[in-house]
Amino acid sequence: MPKRLHIGVSACFFHADPERKVFKGKTLQYVEQSIVHWVHAGGAIVLMIPSPEGETRRGDVELADYADMLDGLVLEGGSDVWPGSYRETPLRPEWTGDRVRDGYEIALIDAFIQRGKPVLGVCRGLQIMNVAFGGTLYQDITTQLPGAIEHRDWHIYDQNFHEIDLVSGTQLATLYGNPGRVRVNSVHHQVIKDLAPGFTVEARSTHDGIVEAFRREGDGFVAGVQWHPEFQDSNDPTLLSGDPLLHDFLEAARKAQNRPC
């Protein structure tokens, strides 16, 4: 029986807050349940990768140690990206994002790529990958792209759907049999502005052209999607299944696992 893959998922942060009633003044690192269960569906073991940095740091464990041990990395969704990470200032105080998480995830991306291991970004994950390789973001779709459709509706959250066009001939489109137009969820208000050098767009929002998926050119698996495949009902035939994407990522992890040192 083949050895199970061990996949790392990046952490989300609740930073120390003296007003919080639970874990008062303590920093929490956590994962959202759906992303773990989605990767579990492919038969892989999932481990959250905690940041070793912080006010209570002890020992000499580094992110590189996790990259050595694990077979692949999934960057999950969550807080905004700090505009300073792509050389801008926040347009509004509420769009300050999470500077600490940015640095942690950019370092994670670098550690896994240096070891030839696959990296998959989901929502914020796609955005921080774009920033890590020199791209930029729109801080708010409604403010900076007034002609765009509604990409985030807090009232219905992951039940907000729209159509996207998979770019024919790309690896993502090929995985799905080049279906052209498909339907996905949409839970974001930031989006790619300048695409990072060396990346190819694999999907765009049908009605406004916003980048919905990309992949780094060359060998290895470095790719991201703007939607949340882990949130979508796999039994709903009107939605794009996350299964082919997951299995493609895990197959890349399997190949990296079997590659001679």
pLDDT 10s digits, 64-91: 999 999 999 999 999 999 999 999 999 9
Percent of the chain exceeding pLDDT 90 equals 93
Domain topology for 6-258: Rossmann fold (3.40.50)
**Average of pLDDT values for 140-155?**
96
Would you state the pLDDT for residue 229? Answer: 97
Whether 123 is a known active-site residue: answer yes
Whether 15 is a known active-site residue: answer no
Which of 105, 123, 188, 212 is an active site residue?
123
d(C-alpha 132, C-alpha 202), whole Å: 19
Average pLDDT for the chain: 96
Residue 240 gets the label, from left (phi > 0), alpha (psi -120 to 50) or beta, of beta
Would you state the pLDDT for residue 252? Answer: 97
**Average of pLDDT values for 202-209?**
98
In this structure, what token pair is assigned to residue 103?
A: 């640095």
Q: Where are the domains of the chain?
A: 6-258
Q: Judge contact between 191 and 151, C-beta under 8 A.
A: yes
Q: Is the pLDDT of residue 23 over 90?
A: yes
Residue 83 gets the label, from left (phi > 0), alpha (psi -120 to 50) or beta, of alpha
Of the pLDDT bands very low, low, confident and very high (cuts 50, 70, 90), residue 1 is low
d(C-alpha 44, C-alpha 114), whole Å: 22
Centre a 10 Å sphere on the Cβ of residue 29 and count the other Cβ atoms it contains.
Answer: 17
Claim: this prediction has a pTM higher than 0.85: yes
Of the pLDDT bands very low, low, confident and very high (cuts 50, 70, 90), residue 3 is confident
- Measured on CA atoms in the order 40, 42, 43, 45, is the torsion positive or negative? negative
Q: Is the pLDDT of residue 261 over 70?
A: no
Whether 189 is a known active-site residue: answer no
Which phi and psi angles does 243 have, rounded to 5°? -60, -50
Which phi and psi angles does 152 have, rounded to 5°? -145, 125
Which of 151, 162, 188, 228 is an active site residue?
228
